[in-house]
């Protein structure tokens, strides 16, 4: 796989390309209960903890930005808060397994003291432990950086995907760095990341949401790409690409889903109707994959699609 040197494609071009081979798949809304009238969205894929599947989800009132991350378990077809599990004042949770530990994180948001609706800044924060019940804080990312994700590599090193904003005239880029141990996860290591300058157009942006180690040692990255049109209408699309940690090369972005593949439903605001935020992906044994995603910043859905990482394993 050679370094990607073509010009980045716009969201519009990527969507046009995706429509030509769009799978005939339809998403299913996940049912959450036990949180009152609050919405649950921007979930993780299910992961195992203490012998049962768990989903972490962003929980908040429709009219507010103040969020909690709650861990849910499935009871009779509904996802309910897990008894005794910790609750975090975070947004957009994620989970990885590194060196035998759970690494959990989310976005810590800071609000104006005089206006609880006005966000002044944010950062990614990290917790680690052998199980959800033993999670302890251990690292923080730089201010205004979301979408920092970790992956344990074949050689035991830890890959870090980063997302600096407003760099080199672009709204955001994805970066990559490596460390040897979780104790080295710090702003200095994150700031050293190599940037993928050919991935997005300068006025568009995206980030990594989850990283998968592939059978050939490369990394399959589940992420999102986004753009904005007049009146600040946002468009977010789930996408994938492959990254080779051996030579720091990467493939072009490829869309894997679009909003019309999911049921109609409410949106947090009108400008967020066309927003899909990739939460996690489970690779199935039959060549399909289950994509878990936030929908319109108000709901959480799952959709079964062709496994997008299979083609990267054959390269």
Q: Distance (Å, rounded) from C-alpha 144 to C-alpha 165?
A: 7
**pLDDT tens for each residue of 269-284:** 999 999 999 999 999 9
Share of the chain above pLDDT 70, in %: 98
Q: Following CA atoms 256, 179, 68, 117 in sequence, which dihedral angle do they give, to the nearest 10 degrees?
A: -90
**pLDDT tens for each residue of 73-83:** 999 999 999 99
Least Cα distance to 75 among 138, 32, 37, 136 occurs for 32
**pLDDT tens for each residue of 230-273:** 888 999 999 999 999 999 999 999 999 999 999 999 999 999 99
Q: Which residue has the tokens 């009779």?
A: 76
What 3-state class would DSSP assign to 258? Answer: coil
Please report the pLDDT score of residue 50 as a whole number: 96
Tokens coding 17:
């390309």
**pLDDT tens for each residue of 284-295:** 999 999 999 999
pLDDT higher than threshold 70 for residue 4: no
Share of the chain above pLDDT 90, in %: 91
Domains, in order of start, for the chain: 11-313 (2.115.10.20)
pLDDT higher than threshold 70 for residue 6: no
Q: Distance (Å, rounded) from C-alpha 269 to C-alpha 257?
A: 21
**pLDDT tens for each residue of 137-188:** 999 999 999 999 999 999 999 999 999 999 998 999 999 999 999 999 999 9
CA distances (Å), 43 to each of 112, 141, 295, in order? 26, 21, 10
pLDDT higher than threshold 60 for residue 60: yes
**pLDDT tens for each residue of 99-121:** 999 999 999 999 987 777 788 99
pLDDT higher than threshold 70 for residue 2: no
**What is the pLDDT of the chain when averaged over all its residues?**
95
């Amino acid at each position: 796989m050679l370094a990607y040197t073509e010009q980045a494609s716009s969201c519009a071009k990527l969507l046009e390309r995706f429509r030509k081979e769009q799978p005939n798949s339809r998403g299913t809304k996940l049912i959450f209960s036990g949180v009152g009238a609050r919405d649950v969205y921007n979930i993780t894929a299910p992961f195992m903890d203490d012998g049962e599947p768990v989903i972490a989800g962003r929980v908040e009132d429709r009219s507010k930005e103040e969020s909690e991350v709650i861990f849910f378990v499935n009871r009779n077809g509904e996802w309910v808060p897990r008894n005794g599990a910790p609750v975090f004042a975070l947004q957009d949770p994620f989970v990885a397994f590194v060196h035998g530990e759970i690494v959990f994180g989310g976005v810590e948001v800071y609000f104006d003291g005089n206006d609880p609706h006005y966000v002044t800044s944010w950062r990614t924060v990290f917790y680690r432990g052998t199980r959800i019940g033993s999670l302890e804080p251990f690292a923080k990312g730089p201010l205004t950086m979301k979408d920092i994700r970790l992956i344990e590599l074949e050689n035991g090193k830890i890959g870090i995907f980063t997302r600096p904003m407003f760099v080199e005239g672009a709204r955001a880029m994805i970066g990559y760095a490596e460390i040897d141990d979780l104790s080295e996860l710090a702003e200095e290591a994150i700031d050293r990341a190599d940037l993928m300058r050919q991935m997005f157009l300068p006025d568009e942006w995206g980030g990594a949401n989850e990283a998968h180690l592939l059978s050939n040692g490369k990394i399959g990255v589940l992420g999102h790409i986004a753009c904005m049109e007049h009146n600040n209408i946002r468009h977010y699309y789930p996408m994938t690409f492959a990254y080779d940690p051996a030579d720091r090369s990467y493939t072009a972005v490829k869309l894997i889903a679009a909003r019309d593949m999911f049921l109609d439903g409410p949106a947090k605001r009108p400008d967020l109707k066309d927003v899909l935020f990739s939460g996690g992906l489970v690779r199935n044994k039959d060549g399909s994959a289950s994509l878990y995603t936030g929908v319109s910043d108000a709901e959480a859905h799952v959709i079964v699609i062709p496994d997008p990482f299979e083609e990267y394993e054959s390269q």
